[in-house]
Structure 1
Amino acid sequence: MSLLAIFGLFGCDNAANTATICKNNPELCDDLHRDSWCRYERADLIRKRFALKNTPSPSGKQIYQHLINLENYNKCIELAAGVQHIMHPERTNDRVRAFGISAQNLQQLRDTTKDNPDLYLSYYHWIRLNDQAALSRVIKAQQAGLIEDIEILASLASYYQKSNLNKAKALYLQLLDQSDPDNFNPDWLLGLASIYHQQNDLEKTYLFSKANVLMTRNTASDAKMNALIKGNQQLAQFLDEQADTLVEHLKNGDYASSEIRAQLNTSS
C-alpha cells in the first residue's frame, strides 16, 4: 500500500479546526472514534492528516511526525477501548473499532517506511522499534555531518554514552552549541556530568551537575558535591560561578559565542 493511500491524501482544503476538517474531509476522520476520549490525540492526528493531505510530496519529517501522532492515538484509544460504558455500550464498541483500525494503519505505515533511507524515518524505526539497520543509517548521516535535528543528536549522544564516551561527550557539547532556550534539555548537563565522572574529571562533574541543579528543580547533596572536589571551598566557589555563567548563557541562547564555551571546549 502506498503512503498516499494510507494517509487518504486526496483533494485540498484550508479548514482550521478539527470539526470543520472532518465535515469537509470525512475520509480523514471516519476511522476514528466519536466520543470525547483521547480528544487531544484525536485532534492532533486529524490536523496532521489534514496537513499531509495538502502536501503533494510529504517530507520524511512530516511522515515521521504523522507516525508519532498515529502511535499516540493508538496507545490512548487502546486504553479507552478497555473502559466499558454501561449506559452506552455502542461507545465502547466504537472505541474498539477505532483501536483496531488505528493499529492496522500504524503497522501498515511502519511496514511501508521500514527500509526508507530518509533520516527521520530511519530515526523512527531505530528509536521506536530498535531497528539496527535504521540505526546504521542514522549513524552514517551523523558521521557525514548531515544531522542538525536536536532530538536526533540527543538520542545519538545517549546511545554513545553506553559505548563511546568521547563521541557522546562531543555530541552533548554540540547540543549545547546548537540548541536554544526553547529546545534545550537540562538532562544533557547530567549526561555530561556522568561522562566526566566516568573519565575521572571531577571538576567538570561538579560544574555540570551544579548547572543542572540551577536549571531544574533537581537537588544535589552538598556533601557529595563537595566530596567530588575534596572539600576545596575555594574551588567550589569558582566552579559555582562557572556554573552560573554557563546557565546564564544557555538561558540567553548565546552559549555558542560565549567565553565559557571556549573554556569548556578547550579543556574538554
Structure 2
Amino acid sequence: MGRFTPLLLIVLALTGCDRFNQINVKDICAQHPQMCSDLNPDGWCRAEKANIIKHRFEQSHSPTDKLNYDLLLDFERYKKCIAKASQIEHIKLKEKKTERVKGLLTAERELKRLARETRDSMSPHLLYYHWSRFHNDEALKHFLEYEKTNQLQYPEMQVALATYYIKFDRPKTIQLLYHALELYKEGDEVDPEIFRSLTSLFMKEEQLDWAYLWGYAGREFGVEDLDLTSLEALLQKQSRQLKPIREKADSYVDMIEEGRFVAPL
C-alpha cells in the first residue's frame, strides 16, 4: 500500500487543480452563496469580484499563506474599484448605491481581518505585505532573510525586493527587475510597473538609450504614460539612432512573452 502513496497524492493533487479550474464564479455563488453575498451584486468591479470569489473558494478547500496574500491584494483592488463605483448615483435604482457601499464595507472589514490574522506569519509574501503596508520593520528583517533562498524566485517577489533596494542601490534594483523578467514563463501576465521602474532608474543613471528601450518595450505591456517623445529628442540631440534601440526593445519583448528573456550584461 505504501509504495502507491506518491501516485495517489499526485492523482489527488491533479483532481484538486481540476476542481479549481473547472468551477466558475456562477457555480461557486450558487453552491456557496456566503462567498458572494457580501459583495455588490451588479456589474461593477466584475474582475475584482471574480478574483475574490475564486480565491475564497480555493482557500476554503486548501488554505495557504499565499492565498491570504492574494486575498489581501484582491480586496485592495476591489476596495479601490467599488469606492469609485459607490459614488455613482442611480436615478431610478438608488438601492444599487447601497449595495456598492455594502461591498466597500466588506472590503474594509476583510482587509482588517486578514491583516490581523496574518501579522505573525513568516511567509515571505505576507512579511512583505506587512512591511510595505504597515512599515513593520520586523517583518522587513525576516523578509530579507529569504533573499538568498528559492522562496523569492518568483517575479512578484523579485519586484518586492526591488521596492526595498530602490531607495539606495539602483544597480542592484535594476538586476532584480531584470531577474523578475527572467522568471516569467510564456503566457504569464507581466507586471507593467517593471518597465516604468526600469525607465526611471536608467534616467537617473543617465543611460538614456536604456531608459528609452524599456519605455518603448513597456508600451507592449500596457504602459502608456511615459514621455518617450522627450527621450527621443534627447537621444537625437546626442546623435543616437532610435531604430536600433527600438529593434532591440522589440526583441526583448518577444523573449519576455516567450519566457526566454536573459538579462543583458
Q: Is residue 134 of structure 2 the alignment partner of residue 126 of structure 1? A: no
Aligned-residue RMSD, C-alpha: 3.5
The whole-number CA distance in structure 2 between the counterparts of 1:147 and 1:78 is 33
Structure label with greater radius of gyration: 1
Q: CA deviation at 1:50?
A: 1.6
Residue matched to 1:231: 239
Q: Is residue 262 of structure 2 the alignment partner of residue 253 of structure 1? A: no
The whole-number CA distance in structure 1 between the counterparts of 2:252 and 2:189 is 16
CA contact (8 A) 2:195 2:217 kept: no
Residues 176 and 27 of structure 1, relative CA distance in 2, 3 Å threshold: closer
- Report how many residues are paired: 238
- What CA deviation, in whole Å up to 9, does each residue of 1:64-93 have, x standing for no partner? 111222233333333333344443444433
Residue matched to 1:213: 216
Corresponding letter in the other structure for 1:34: P
Q: Is residue 46 of structure 2 the alignment partner of residue 47 of structure 1? A: no
The whole-number CA distance in structure 2 between the counterparts of 1:241 and 1:86 is 52
CA contact (8 A) 1:207 1:240 kept: no
CA contact (8 A) 1:45 1:66 kept: yes
Corresponding letter in the other structure for 2:39: L
- What CA deviation, in whole Å up to 9, does each residue of 1:131-156 have, x standing for no partner? 33333332221144531120221232
Percent of counterpart pairs with the same letter? 26
Corresponding letter in the other structure for 1:78: A
The whole-number CA distance in structure 1 between the counterparts of 2:94 and 2:127 is 41
- Unpaired segments of 5 or more residues in structure 1? 1-12
Q: CA deviation at 1:171?
A: 1.3
The whole-number CA distance in structure 2 between the counterparts of 1:189 and 1:102 is 30
Matched ranges for 1:164-175 at <5 A: 164-175=169-180
Q: CA deviation at 1:110?
A: 1.1
For normalisation by structure 2, the TM-score amounts to 0.70
Residues 149 and 91 of structure 1, relative CA distance in 2, 3 Å threshold: same
Residues 175 and 94 of structure 1, relative CA distance in 2, 3 Å threshold: closer
Residue matched to 1:112: 117
- Unpaired segments of 5 or more residues in structure 2? 1-18
Residue matched to 1:68: 73
For normalisation by structure 1, the TM-score amounts to 0.70
Residues 215 and 81 of structure 1, relative CA distance in 2, 3 Å threshold: closer
Corresponding letter in the other structure for 2:130: H
Residues 120 and 185 of structure 1, relative CA distance in 2, 3 Å threshold: closer
